[in-house]
Structure 1
Amino acid sequence: MKEEIENKLIDKNTKPTSMRILVYDFLSSQNTALSLSEIENYFENADRTTIYRTLKTFEEKGIVHSIQENTTTKYMLCHDECDERTHKDRHLHFYCKICKETTCKEDISIPENIQNNFRIDEIRFFAKGICENCLESLQ
């Protein structure tokens, strides 16, 4: 697994340091977007600044995309087609008001054929409501 992560980072022009490998591995096991604090809590002995710089580098290189939630930024791994120039996350980011989790709803997306004589580098497509799990438990 470590070698696979190293190769993914190298493919994105990112030096595979120990912390970058650990953060990538952790994010790859998550189903929801996480804040810097949530990631930091998992790596209790790691330096907050190092984790933040890792996430910023990942964002610049098209490895993670950030999701702005009110005053908090959350991070989730990108698909392989994202790169340094363009993030291809044209799907809905959904925040549940009950469980407080943010998930990617890839079945709800903005079509790519909306471009004409311009280039879209980034789209922020965000909704708040109640997720299917919480909605089910309310009934």
Structure 2
Amino acid sequence: MNTETKLLNKNTKPTSMRILVYNFLSAQKAALSLSEIEQNFEHADRITIYRTLKTFEEKGIVHSIQENNTTRYKLCDDECSDEMHSDWHMHFYCRICKQTTCREDIPINIPTLGLLLEEVQMIGKGICENCLQTLQ
């Protein structure tokens, strides 16, 4: 499925900037901050990129990860929607390479206890597999 179709399926108008940002994020393994994304779009306006990310977040296209005082963005799975993000996994920050990755291999299993639990954020910090190999 092409990017335009993916955006349309999420009720999002496929503008040029939205297509560029979506394609850029889809090529990334780690979650990125607004500043990191902006560095890859020299001639784009910071506000336009920010609005694109906020629209994507509202439509279930990206999820945001709060890390210290920084927000990082990562594409969601196809199951996410504007009503419910299925972001039930750990996010891992490597203190050496400074990357934050989604660790879907480490799911979060929390009983709801009769509550409507809408969001849980779990961030692990340490050394990722790649950096750990280089240290050995």
Range class of TM-score, shorter chain: over 0.9
Partner residue in 2 for 1:98: 96
Partner residue in 1 for 2:42: 44
Q: Are residues 1:135 and 2:132 paired?
A: yes
Partner residue in 1 for 2:74: 76
Report if aligned partners of 1:91, 1:107 keep a CA contact under 8 Å in 2.
Answer: yes
1:34-84 Cα shifts (integer Å, max 9, x gaps): 010110000010000000000000001100000111111100000011111
Larger helix fraction of residues: 1
1:71-111 Cα shifts (integer Å, max 9, x gaps): 11100000011111111010110000000000111110113
Task: Report the Cα distance in structure 1 between the residues aligned to 2:113 and 2:13, rounded to whole angstroms.
Answer: 36
Task: Report the Cα distance in structure 2 between the residues aligned to 1:88 and 1:13, rounded to whole angstroms.
Answer: 18
Partner SS for 1:42: coil
State the one-letter code of the partner of 1:8. Answer: K
Report if aligned partners of 1:59, 1:65 keep a CA contact under 8 Å in 2.
Answer: yes
Report if aligned partners of 1:65, 1:89 keep a CA contact under 8 Å in 2.
Answer: yes
TM-score by length of 1: 0.93
Gaps of 5+ in 2: none
Q: Are residues 1:119 and 2:116 paired?
A: yes
Task: Report the Cα distance in structure 2 between the residues aligned to 1:129 and 1:73, rounded to whole angstroms.
Answer: 19
Q: Are residues 1:33 and 2:5 paired?
A: no
Instruction: State the aligned residue count.
Output: 136
Structure 1 consecutive aligned stretches of length 4 or more whose deviation exceeds 3 Å = none
Partner SS for 2:65: strand
Report if aligned partners of 1:91, 1:109 keep a CA contact under 8 Å in 2.
Answer: yes
Q: Matched residues, percent identical?
A: 67
